[in-house]
Chains A and B, each alone.
Chain A
Amino acid sequence: MIAWLRGNLFSGWASGLATLLVCAGAAALLPDLLRWGATHAVFAPDAEQCRALDGAGACWGVIAEKYRLVLFGRYPHAEHWRPALATALVLAVLAGFLLLPRAGRFFLGRAVPLAAFAAFGIAALAGALFLMAGGALGLAAVDTSRWGGLPLTLLLALGAVVGALPGGILLALGRRSSLPAIRALCAVYIELVRGLPLIPVLFMAAFLFPLFLPRGLGADVLLRVLVALILFAAAHLAEVVRGGLQSVPQGQYDTARALGFTPWQVQRYIILPQALRAALPALTNSFIAVFKDVSLVTVVSLYELTGALQLALAGDADWRPYFLEGYLFIGAIYWAGCFALSRWSARMEAR
């Protein structure tokens, strides 16, 4: 114990000084933070009480009052069980995927076949989409313009990743193709899109796509934004996949060809499985980036988590002063998602 303290806190005069400074800072700030966040805070959804605080404590009541608006946006209030259930379904699919190897061994004694899981995942996602959209089986139809909050964030992120991964793989293969025209087209697309920030791409979805899409198809902002997210993410994923492809030695390709595999079979059975495994940590980082980037769709007036918070608080004079508490609340949600993904990726990398 003493040895640890000496080695890690007081190993020299500089280290000792740093320890003292950090402790002094903590002693100065932590009590105030504790007072603001806990002991003086108001937890009841009572605007009067919050106003009486006059900034001396946090008003967590704002979350208790507004959490449904923040989590589900403009979705009809009486139907909130539907987005709640849809969110649970999406989270179950995600958790299932992340824990797949472990859960299989735990429940079945062997790994769950990927095909079986994919079938379950697709069914669950279709169920989630149906719950959100309704229009049959006694569920009232809800227009996509009223979708919002956490389910919108999750569906857009998942949709973008699922849609972009095949595109990214094809682009990466195309960029390494022996055909010069294909190679050039893929390279130009990848570099062009990667050079752009997401916001102009979203502007394209909002303002350019309707100029050429047929009226019916172009009317749905959500669909256009999803397409834009997929096009954007595909270019970024392509570079990550290409990194994985480069880690597979050329000899494997030659050997498989010599054994009589066709070029597509070599990619499908020999190269891609190894490349994707090698690229998995970097791919996870890209997924995290997509999850965070979805917050930008607020700019084209889709009310995902961040937009829904603005919607919930900006128009309400009683609760408008407590944006900070709201930001901390959704920040915690984003943080939990990203942190869990990055931990998972670190564990896969270590294996």
Chain B
Amino acid sequence: MRRRFAEAGRRAFLWQALAVGLLLLGGWWVAGRVEGELAARGIRSGFGFLLQPAGFEIGESLFDFHAGLAYWQAFLVGFANTLRVALPGLLLATVLGALIGFARLSPNFLLRALGTAYVEVFRNVPLLLQLLTWYFLLTEKLPPVADAVEFLPGFFLSKSGLAFPLPAFAVAAGELAWPQRGLLNIEGGATVTPEYLAVLLGLAAYSAAYLAEIVRAGILSVSRGQVEAAAALGLTARQRMRWVVLPQALRLIVPPAGNQYLNLTKNSSLAVVVGYPDLVSVANTTLNQTGQAVECIAILIAVYLALSLATAALLALYNARLLRRGSAA
């Protein structure tokens, strides 16, 4: 008997040694070939190129960026642009998703049908196609900037993007800088480009369909008996939702919603197709200019991996808090 265990142990060791050995061998072979190929193309590997001037302009940026600044600064601008579209996207998708999720559970037939139609349409068409469609609508079907539509006081929408009032800290705290119709242009306030708007709307509309399903499933998971018991105790519909259903539903909603937020951030990489300069788009330009494929892709992997790990850590924190509260109750 003991001999059989020893033999099984030896076999297990051999299998694992074989797997690790093959992997190392493959990695060594790939690294050797890549090195040879890079040398043949005259590309110096290493991250030294990050310090050289980028030599390309970036269409929009949170910081002042010009072609004379270094590649690492370009990457930083790209990453900031990714967050600049992903974070408002999360907010918009959450609001929209919750509304549609509730609509799908409404006693009203028309609202239910509208919610279902929304989910089925937006989930079953590729995001890339949706982004392209938004971009086309925003840049081709809107009026030129001289005839911008003012759909809310101070909000101007046109081919050149959206102008909106901005809290102007430079003028006086709490005061708004209002955009105004100039001779040929909208002056003052803040503007976002149609590229940004297309990515924002596309990401939010697409993720909202998934979030709606998550919200719906979470609410449905709370057993009917609880709602009926709460009703028997005299709680109104609003009170039942606030104090009985939501606290329990949230436990089931938050983890998948967190993953959906991560998906939205990852999906912002599709911005490259409408020319919004997010991280991937900057990496792509850099790669084409310098040929530093290994380094550029390594940066992308590192950034997205860090984002995934951060999301996972936040969700674990939330779960731990839930468990603690659950045991205290």
Listed by A's residue number, 12 A-B pairs whose Cβ atoms lie within 8 Å are: A11-B108, A18-B106, A55-B141, A179-B16, A196-B266, A196-B305, A199-B280, A200-B269, A306-B132, A323-B136, A324-B137, A342-B124
Q: A196-B266, A299-B272, A334-B126 are in contact. Are A211 and B304 (CB under 8 A)?
A: no
Q: Which of A198, A321, A327 has the most CB of B within 10 A?
A: A327
A residues within 8 A CB of B307? 195
**Which residues of A192-215 have CB atoms within 8 Å of chain B's CB atoms?**
192, 194-200, 203-204, 207-208, 210-212
A residues within 8 A CB of B111? 18, 22
B residues within 8 A CB of A9? 108-110
Count of residues in B whose CB is under 8 Å from the partner chain: 56
A residues within 8 A CB of B108? 8-9, 11, 15, 18-19
A31 at interface by CB-CB < 8 Å: no
Q: A200-B301, A327-B132, A331-B129 are in contact. Are A22 and B280 (CB under 8 A)?
A: no
B residues within 8 A CB of A321? 140
Distance A22 CA – B115 CA, assembled complex (angstroms): 12
Distance A178 CA – B273 CA, assembled complex (angstroms): 44
Distance A203 CA – B287 CA, assembled complex (angstroms): 10
Distance A2 CA – B323 CA, assembled complex (angstroms): 48
Q: Is the CB of A306 within 8 A of B19?
A: no
A85 at interface by CB-CB < 8 Å: no
Q: What residues make up the interface of A, taking CB atoms closer than 8 Å to B?
A: 7-9, 11-12, 15, 18-19, 22-23, 55, 178-182, 185, 191-192, 194-200, 203-204, 207-208, 210-212, 288, 292-293, 295-296, 298-299, 306, 321, 323-324, 327, 330-331, 334-335, 338-339, 342
The 4 closest A-B pairs by CB, nearest first: A195-B308, A338-B124, A181-B16, A8-B109
B69 at interface by CB-CB < 8 Å: no
Q: Is the CB of B128 within 8 A of A335?
A: no
Q: A182-B16, A195-B305 are in contact. Are A211 and B293 (CB under 8 A)?
A: yes
Residue of A nearest to B311 (CB): A195
Q: Is the CB of A182 within 8 A of B15?
A: yes
Residue of A nearest to B124 (CB): A338
B17-37 toward A: CB 8 Å interface, digit per residue (1/0)?
101100100000110011001
Distance A324 CA – B130 CA, assembled complex (angstroms): 11
**Which residues of B282-311 have CB atoms within 8 Å of chain A's CB atoms?**
283-284, 287, 293-294, 296-297, 300-301, 304-305, 307-309
Q: Is the CB of B129 within 8 A of A295?
A: yes
Residue of B nearest to A291 (CB): B126
B123 at interface by CB-CB < 8 Å: yes
A residues within 8 A CB of B137? 324
Interchain nearest-CB distance for B112 vs A (Å): 8
Q: Is the CB of A179 within 8 A of B287?
A: no
B254 at interface by CB-CB < 8 Å: no
Q: Which of A191, A204, A211, A298 has the most CB of B within 10 A?
A: A211
B residues within 8 A CB of A204? 297
Residue of B nearest to A14 (CB): B108
B127 at interface by CB-CB < 8 Å: yes
Q: Is the CB of A197 within 8 A of B280?
A: yes
B residues within 8 A CB of A324? 133, 136-137, 140-141
Residue of B nearest to A207 (CB): B293
Distance A211 CA – B111 CA, assembled complex (angstroms): 55
Distance A203 CA – B15 CA, assembled complex (angstroms): 33
Distance A204 CA – B301 CA, assembled complex (angstroms): 11
Q: A15-B107, A200-B297, A212-B37 are in contact. Are A338 and B129 (CB under 8 A)?
A: no
Distance A265 CA – B140 CA, assembled complex (angstroms): 61
A residues within 8 A CB of B132? 306, 323, 327
